[in-house]
């Protein structure tokens, strides 16, 4: 029985919090190629980065690429072949032309990545270049610290808020909807308006100021003798 083979597939999706440009640069370092050649792989859609490899090699590709910031899916080649098998029923439209690939698909199909020298670091190895060393903090003796029971009040000497005494409210009732509930509310007396039949509106843009002050224009000094030399 032949060994099961897999395709290493990328759909243009990045790991959470990862930057696209950084992921492209990381991928270029892995495959030792120009980052510009990898841009079509990030245009979306299904892209096969490495096809027909065994499970062990497929997992190595997946680990390396996901560490670079990509979301990788491993697809069994047998399932791909079944899904891509052409239909036995001929097309009813004899003049139908094959669909032309997009520019991004053409670039992706023409891009070849040399993966012959790719290798995996040992389990637990630090694969980050120039990683920041974190100094361990000294922890004092905590043997006397215990955990409180679930639901226990862990506040020491909490402030006790005494309950307020409420007087007898049995004689309080609700007013009808729309009732004026203000006692001795101020009565507003409508103002008397004189005859305004002779008032008219000025035209839009008209100057409403009577006898406006003349505009004072500033004197402009003679600048004919000035130059930038």
* Residue 12 backbone dihedrals phi, psi, to 5 degrees: 80, 10
Confidence of residue 229 (pLDDT cuts 50, 70, 90): very low
Residues 6 or more apart whose Cβ sits within 8 Å of residue 57: 50
Whether domain 5-84+105-110 has CATH 3.30.1390.10: yes
Q: What is the pLDDT of residues 51-107, one digit of tens each?
A: 899 999 999 999 999 999 999 999 998 655 554 555 444 444 434 444 444 444 444
Locate the domains of the chain by residue range.
5-84+105-110
Predicted TM-score (pTM) of the model is 0.37
Residue-wise burial string across 194-219, b where 16 or more C-beta atoms lie within 10 A, e elsewhere: eeeeeeeeeeeeeeeeeeeeeeeeee
- Give the integer Cα–Cα distance in Å for 209 and 184: 46
Helices (H) and strands (E) in the chain, counts: 4, 3
């Amino acid at each position: 029985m032949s060994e099961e083979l897999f395709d290493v597939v990328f759909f243009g999706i990045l790991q959470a919090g990862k930057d696209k440009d950084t992921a492209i640069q990381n991928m270029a370092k892995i495959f030792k190629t120009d980052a510009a050649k990898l841009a079509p792989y990030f245009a979306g859609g299904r892209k096969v980065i490495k096809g027909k490899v065994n499970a062990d090699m497929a997992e190595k590709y997946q680990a390396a690429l996901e560490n670079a910031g990509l979301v990788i899916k491993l697809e069994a080649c047998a399932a791909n072949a079944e899904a891509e098998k052409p239909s036995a029923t001929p097309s009813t439209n004899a003049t139908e032309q094959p669909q032309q690939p997009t520019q991004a698909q053409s670039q992706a199909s023409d891009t070849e990545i040399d993966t012959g020298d790719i290798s995996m670091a040992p389990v637990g190895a630090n694969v980050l270049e120039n990683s920041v060393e974190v100094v361990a903090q000294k922890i004092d003796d905590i043997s006397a610290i215990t955990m409180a029971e679930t639901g226990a009040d862990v506040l020491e000497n909490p402030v006790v808020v005494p309950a307020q005494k409420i007087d007898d409210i049995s004689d309080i009732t609700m007013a009808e909807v729309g009732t004026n509930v203000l006692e001795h509310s101020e009565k507003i007396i409508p103002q008397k308006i004189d005859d305004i039949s002779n008032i008219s509106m000025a035209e839009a843009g008209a100057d409403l100021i009577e006898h406006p002050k003349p505009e004072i224009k500033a004197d402009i000094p003679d600048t004919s003798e000035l130059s930038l030399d």
